[in-house]
Amino acid sequence: IKTVFSGMQPTSGVTLGNYLGAMRNFVKLQHQAKCFFCVVDLHALTVPKDPAELRKNTLDMARIYVAAGIDPNVATIFAQSHVSAHAEMGWLMEVSCYYGELQRMTQFKDKSAKNEVVTTGLFTYPALMAADILLYDTTHVPVGDDQKQHLELTRDIAIRLNNRFGRELVVVPEPYIPPREAGGRIMSLQDPTQKMSKSDPDESATIHMLDTPDVIRKKIKRAVTDSESEVRYDPEKKPGVSNLMVILSLCTGMSLDEIAGRYTGYGQFKKDVAEAVVTTLEPIQQRYRELCEPGVIEEILEKGAAEAEAVSTPVLRRVQDALGLLPRT
């Protein structure tokens, strides 16, 4: 692992799924590789947003990165729109991938069916995601399981460009996706066959990273399980219980086997899951509050943008040149 890039959209209500599936790995990887963690505000615009809210959520997402343990002196944290290479490279990726490829993206199918307004950007979003990744000569991309298809497209575009130009014009990135039992797909508390999602209209289905301890306890108490009483890992037959087991395992370090051997019913099990989540999120929430002091996160983003620009501009120039765009003299 040499270079890591990942991004999260600044939508309000970052979830426990975002944390366990992706952000937790960002924190680990920052000590193993050069890391770029982006607040992808341009991606957030694919679904129309209130401007003031988007600005606030962008700052909040960056605060949550730092609060979760990403050290801005070790990794680069920045806002996507602060580095114009992303938008420029985005266009170059749009002209390097095919309409049919974008049409096959299942996230577009899901989101366009749910949203009233379907923007062109929602359709071309995976091309911008490819740009984000390829701009840093990224070797590994830590994301949740739901991003697998988009990442596969990024790899296809990269391989196509390299074949066309007969050299390693861009680095072909590898996915870094945890298996399901390691948090790759945290499920909804109300419908454990669906992924936990920020945009779920059912509040009780999702744990947000900034939920209070009482709210977390209530949501886990109400989480859908099954009519048995056995705590056993079986995502097919017992999706609700298995999901809670994964959450407990990731929040405490206990293995799934240890957890299975510990309980004879769901009452104490759910209480322990709730306390483990509260204990995991409380210090993050405390640091988040400290980071709300004016100017603190803005300074981190300013420094991050300069670092990101220095790395991405030469890569953009390399791709522009290969595609035949005239350099400025």
Residues within the interface to ligand AQP (CB under 6 A): 8-9, 11, 15, 17-18, 21-22, 143-144, 146-147, 183-186, 195-199
Element (H, E) at 130: helix 120-134
Distance CA 111, CA 84 (A): 26
User: Catalytic annotation on 198?
Assistant: yes
Nearer to ligand AQP, 256 or 322 (CB): 256
Nearer to ligand AQP, 82 or 195 (CB): 195
Nearby residues of 150 by Cβ (< 8 Å), 6 or more positions away: 105, 107, 126, 129
Q: Are 43 and 274 in contact (CB under 8 A)?
A: no
Which one from 49, 111, 148, 303 is the annotated catalytic residue? 111
User: Catalytic annotation on 195?
Assistant: yes
User: Catalytic annotation on 111?
Assistant: yes
Q: Are 170 and 136 in contact (CB under 8 A)?
A: no
Which one from 34, 49, 109, 198 is the annotated catalytic residue? 198
The least CB distance from residue 43 to ligand AQP, in Å, is 6
Q: Are 177 and 145 in contact (CB under 8 A)?
A: yes
Binding-site sequence positions for ATP:
9-11, 17-18, 144-146, 186, 195-199
Nearer to ligand AQP, 9 or 280 (CB): 9
Distance CA 286, CA 284 (A): 5
The least CB distance from residue 239 to ligand AQP, in Å, is 13
The least CB distance from residue 61 to ligand AQP, in Å, is 8
The least CB distance from residue 106 to ligand AQP, in Å, is 12
Nearer to ligand AQP, 112 or 162 (CB): 112
Closest chain position to ligand AQP (CB): 21
Rounded (to 5) percent helix, strand, coil in the chain: 55, 10, 35
- Residue 43: which of 73, 88, 7 has the closest Cα? 7
Which residues belong to the active site? Answer: 111, 195, 198
